[in-house]
Amino acid sequence: MVSTLPDDALSRAQTGEPAALSLIYQSLSPAVLGYFVGRGSADPEALTQEVFLAVFSRLESVTGGLPGLRTFTFSVAHARLVDEVRKRTRAPVLVGYEVDGDPRTADSAEAVALRDLDLGGAGGLLEQLSPDQREVILLRIVAELPIDQVAEILGKSAGSVKQLQRRGLLRLKELVHLDESEAQ
């Protein structure tokens, strides 16, 4: 649950008041971190810090009060995530040889059990949605943004965001019912 900010928090932060900056960070950072974790970021904590460094350095340009601040913050978060994904796809991952990672060996029973447990979790369910549905669900539910702000962040129409949310939630419902019926 996102804590509510006082109406004057943005104006106080724009004047450089440390307490207001801290209040904004404490209020918005859990949702930003949740967004990055839900999207599978390699380093969600570092990205969260980058977002707030960028947001705080450009606070004077934020308009629209607290809703404008939330939209701006998640616009920056979305852009940082896109940058991370692009960077990952462009740069090869170099790793040393690790016996545990050798595909010619069989996983232990413990590793298989832990992997199977994770697939049943929320992360596993979200991974089964389309990228657009996952993005909308995370911004609407984890970040608690209204439809018009999600549409602005993603560059889509409000109707498109509503449809993606509806279809994503229906798909999640199907997946949960599938898991429940398999468990019985």
The three-state secondary structure class of 160 is helix
pLDDT of residue 126: 83
- The yes/no answer on whether domain 111-184 falls in CATH 1.20.1290.10 is no
In the numeric block, which tokens belong to residue 140? 């609407």
pLDDT of residue 80: 95
From CA 171, how far away is CA 23, in angstroms rounded? 36
Q: Which stretches within 108-154 are classed as H helix?
A: 109-119, 122-127, 131-137, 147-154
Question: What percent of the chain is predicted at pLDDT more than 70?
Answer: 81
Q: Which stretches within the chain are classed as H helix?
A: 9-14, 18-38, 44-57, 65-90, 109-119, 122-127, 131-137, 147-154, 158-183
From CA 41, how far away is CA 77, in angstroms rounded? 11
pLDDT in tens, the chain (184 residues): 345 788 889 989 999 899 999 999 999 999 999 999 999 898 999 999 999 999 999 999 998 899 999 999 999 999 999 999 898 888 776 767 676 666 666 665 555 554 554 544 566 778 888 999 999 988 998 888 999 999 999 999 999 999 999 999 999 888 888 766 776 6
Q: How far is CA 182 from the centre of its chain?
A: 29
Domain residue spans in the chain? 1-92, 111-184
- The yes/no answer on whether domain 1-92 falls in CATH 1.10.1740.10 is yes
The answer to whether 1-92 and 111-184 have equal CATH topology is no
C-beta of residue 62 within 8 angstroms of C-beta of residue 69: yes
pLDDT of residue 109: 55
